[in-house]
Chain A
Amino acid sequence: MVLSHDVLVIGAGLAGMRAALEASRKGVDVAVLSKVHPVRSHSTQAQGGINASLGEDDSWEKHGFDTVKGSDYLGDQDAIEIFVKDAPERVVELEHMGTVFSRRDDGRIAQRPFGGAAFPRTCYVADITGQVLLHVLYEQLLQAGVRVYEEWFATSLIIEDGACRGALAMEIRSGQLQAFGAKVVIMATGGLGRVYEPSTNSLISTGDGQALAYRAGAALMDMEFVQFHPTTLRNGILVTEGARGEGGYLLNSKGNRFMEKYAPKMMELASRDVVSRAEQTEIDEGRGVDGFILLDLRHLGREKILERLPQIHELALDIAGVDAIDEPIPIRPGMHYAMGGIKTDVNGASVLPGLYAAGECACITVHGANRLGGNSLLETVVFGRRTGAAAAEHAGGVAPANVSEAVVSRDQDKIKAIFERADSGDSVARIRTEMGQTMNKYVGMFRTEQDLETAVAKLAELKERYKRVGVQDRSRVFNTSLLFHLELGNTLDLAEAIALAALHRKESRGAQFRRDFPQRDDEEWLKHILVRCTPEGPSLDYSPVTITRWQPERRVY
């Protein structure tokens, strides 16, 4: 039997749930499908907050300029204008839904300073903003009675006559494959952090939606722009930018606040690409502390640390064995966020009819070459809502999907083939680790043509090995080995797209720093790179950047 819905949202983080809620409000039959229970989604790891120009002295124009500058002028300014203008209303809406935002003395939503922002613009719930928002939106979804397929893994999109008409998915609990017919599919599967090792991302952040869309014919955009967050712990766990927003210092081995050398005005609160590169430069030039930089919160005092940064206090204790009240926390830059993703217009429509995307898996693009902290949560609700509304409208003009149940055999055969593979002496875990380390080493914060070519060659080898590797566990029920196998296929395709785009872009902009091309080159490279999947392999193309009111300038913090 084929299960049919007007709108099928894949992914149940903030973007997916906000999209589903909006589609549901528009009266269409919407369902959400997610490989984990909604509240387990990676949005829960967002700590520091969500940006909106609520303050008396702030304005959407200032938020817009900060975002454009943060993007190193690669963000599309029509999208950015929509984004920052809608921000206050979306944040107030989250408050009306029940979010327990931290407050100012007058009872209004409190706002903290964040990187690359000229005003304290980031609304927060201590340092668990994403978690609280995710639970609130899940509860809104419960109230709205939206159907959620929990613990279902999407394996491919159904394309008929050049349009997306649904998806195939596996119920993890039974191992059964199922066809879903839909007038519109919205991808909201989040990030691809697990392409790298280490990463701040959850183990589930394997770019499934980007990979499925890419293989089905959608274009990926800005894939070379991978954000390294300045403050991550030994094992990749995130320490919020809020720690610096609240006044934390970054110190090198000499005890100096080295950011004065790199960003004399904004210091620790320069944009993330700038701070991460500064830290790595200090470490590489021998002024690190055992390969780390020190994040010093001591001067904030016990009370402020426990009130504003309780999770950070606990994580530093658990993971680094450091009490941030008495000692600085050893941190270093770590892979954190993909600015790139499925190319969409400002309503979330991809280039493939019937396929929409929102959140980190999409690329609209509001973040350009570097995202500002606090703008990712905002993106999920602004564009989640717009995409949900646009998808509902699109669904109104499309005949019901007429999907044949026979399509499930395609992915059934694929899984059967994995189960039947003889032991190649290799393993999914080994290939995954080699991929992650390759990306971290050769497609990291500092790039060169030679390193990128090394990465491309290594990834080609890993893709060949992936075709031969099987799994030991051949059970049907909750076979996590099979899931890891399928996820690895997704991450490998995206790793290749990232490395190729990075190799192609011969300039430095935002998060992409080429040692061999250290300058930004607006004449040649003020444009997006698109990557498409073809039978002959990935094919690259360009798309123009939309500039409205902010002309490119030199970027200094």
Chain B
Amino acid sequence: MEAKLRVRRFDPESGDGVRYQSYVLEVPDYATVLDVLLQIREELDDSLALRCSCCSAICGSCAMRINGQARLACKTKAKAVAADSEEILVEPVGNMPVIKDLVADMDPFWQKARAVEPWLQPEGTPPEREYLVAHEIMRPLADIAACIMCGACVSDCSVLETELGLGKPPDQTFLGPAALAKAYRYVGDPRDAADASRLSALSRLEGIWDCTRCNICVEVCPKGVAPMDQILALRRKAIEQGYDEYLGARHTLEFEKTVRESSWL
């Protein structure tokens, strides 16, 4: 097939600012957008910068916006997205500064992941052998641990888009779907004993109550992690365990009370 791409270019050394460059090339029908970008690099323009590694949707390097939506380039068939528009539009992930072309600065992303203390905090010394945990409990946690930290959810998160659009400093914005899904992976883990400190920290500003439940993170996640569902699970846990003094929690409880008492919203 003939692939037509329009790629957002930015070279900080050129002083040119952002520009869009079109490429037309013949590619196999089965080519992914990443295949096409690599072919552009090899045949047309070796200055096009991007990150990629595994080509099998597990390393998380190649998240980018394709036709306006965050996707993994290696998991997106060019043919499937070519039908949507005259040219396939390829841009870096959103809600993050751009270093060059399709390479985003993910430092703020990693800092937020770090902020949820993503490591097991058990109580006491561990058993001699493994912790005994039922498969039915471990299985859903493995589905969340399947998050590859590609940043697609953060790229398209509408809360972050609004906050950054209003000029909020990046380190004071919403923790975001990836970091919060990671947080639930530990809160939901029966081996972890730090629920109290985790839930109280996550209930504060920029935490679980800042999500507007727009569902975009669920739609764009290439691994089926459903970050918003994990945020909602954190909210339930927070209220259950008594972290209900925060605005979001109080709002939710009042809502429930009103509906229960009056059957009206």
Question: Which residues of A are in contact with B by a Cβ distance under 8 Å?
Answer: 36-37, 39-42, 44-45, 92, 95-98, 100-110, 125-126, 128, 131-132, 135, 139-140, 142-143, 173, 202-204, 234-235, 237-238, 307, 311, 314-315, 318-319, 321, 427-429, 471-473, 475-481
Contacts and interface: CB of A to CB of B under 8 A. Distances in A.
A160 to B, nearest CB: 34
Nearest to A482: B46
A319 B28 CA distance: 13
A310 B120 CA distance: 25
A390 B139 CA distance: 37
B158 interface: no
B142 A125 contact: yes
B148 A473 contact: no
A477 B11 contact: yes
Given A44-B54, A108-B132, A315-B57, 8 more contacts: A39-B59, A44-B58, A95-B131, A104-B135, A108-B129, A132-B146, A480-B49, A480-B50
Q: Which of B99, B106, B189 has the most CB of A within 10 A?
A: B99
Contact of A98 (B57, B134, B191): B191
Contact of A318 (B12, B57, B117): B57
B252 interface: no
A238 B56 contact: yes
Interface of B: 11-13, 30, 41-43, 45-47, 49-61, 75, 77, 99-101, 103, 106, 110, 114, 117-120, 122, 126, 129-135, 138-139, 141-142, 145-149, 185-186, 189, 191-192
A481 B47 contact: yes
A202 B145 contact: no
Contacts of A142: 114, 118-119
B123 to A, nearest CB: 13
Contacts of B118: 139, 142
8 contacts: A36-B61, A97-B120, A107-B132, A131-B146, A131-B148, A142-B118, A203-B53, A203-B54
A58 to B, nearest CB: 14
Contacts of A125: 142, 145
B46 A481 contact: yes
B56 A40 contact: no
B60 A478 contact: no
A318 B74 CA distance: 10
Contacts of B189: 98, 100
Q: Which of A42, A128, A234 has the most CB of B within 10 A?
A: A128
Contacts of A101: 130, 138
A426 to B, nearest CB: 13
A439 B192 CA distance: 49
Given A125-B145, A473-B46, A103 B54 contact: no
B144 to A, nearest CB: 9
Contacts of B55: 202-203, 235, 237
A106 B146 contact: no
Given A98-B120, A472-B46, A204 B53 contact: yes
Nearest to A238: B56
Contact of B130 (A95, A237, A472): A95
A131 B99 contact: no
A40 B119 contact: no
A551 to B, nearest CB: 34
A376 B106 CA distance: 30
A194 B147 CA distance: 26
Given A473-B47, A477-B99, A98 B119 contact: yes
A480 B135 CA distance: 43
Contacts of B119: 97-98, 139-140, 142-143
B141 A42 contact: no
Given A39-B60, A92-B129, A472-B46, A135 B134 contact: no
B56 A103 contact: no
A140 B101 CA distance: 32
Contacts of B139: 102, 307
Contact of B59 (A40, A97, A234, A318): A40
A214 B72 CA distance: 36
Nearest to A237: B56
A98 B117 CA distance: 13
Contacts of B191: 98
A135 B145 contact: yes
Contacts of A126: 142, 146
Nearest to A201: B54
B120 to A, nearest CB: 4
A129 to B, nearest CB: 10
- Across the A-B interface, give the 9 residue pairs with the lowest CB-CB distance, nearest first: A107-B132, A98-B120, A473-B47, A103-B135, A429-B42, A481-B46, A95-B130, A202-B53, A143-B119
A519 B62 CA distance: 46
B52 A478 contact: no
A314 B223 CA distance: 10
B194 to A, nearest CB: 12
Nearest to A480: B49
Contacts of A319: 30, 56
B58 A128 contact: yes
B186 A98 contact: yes
Nearest to A433: B42
B65 to A, nearest CB: 18
A161 B103 CA distance: 41
A132 B142 contact: yes
Contact of A472 (B11, B47, B58, B59): B47
B53 A92 contact: no
A41 B60 CA distance: 10
A438 B11 CA distance: 36
Contact of A100 (B41, B132, B145): B145
B114 A315 contact: no
A113 B177 CA distance: 37
Contacts of A315: 56-57
B16 to A, nearest CB: 12
A319 B75 CA distance: 9
Nearest to A41: B59
Contact of A471 (B46, B117, B132, B186): B46
A96 B126 contact: yes
Contacts of B101: 478
Nearest to B52: A203
A125 B146 CA distance: 10
B131 A135 contact: no
A3 B13 CA distance: 26
Contacts of A473: 46-47
A96 B131 contact: yes
Q: Which of B12, B43, B53, B138 has the most CB of A within 10 A?
A: B53
B135 A135 contact: no
A329 to B, nearest CB: 14
B138 A103 contact: yes
Contacts of A477: 11-13, 99-100
Contacts of A478: 49, 99-101, 103
Contact of A135 (B12, B52, B149): B149
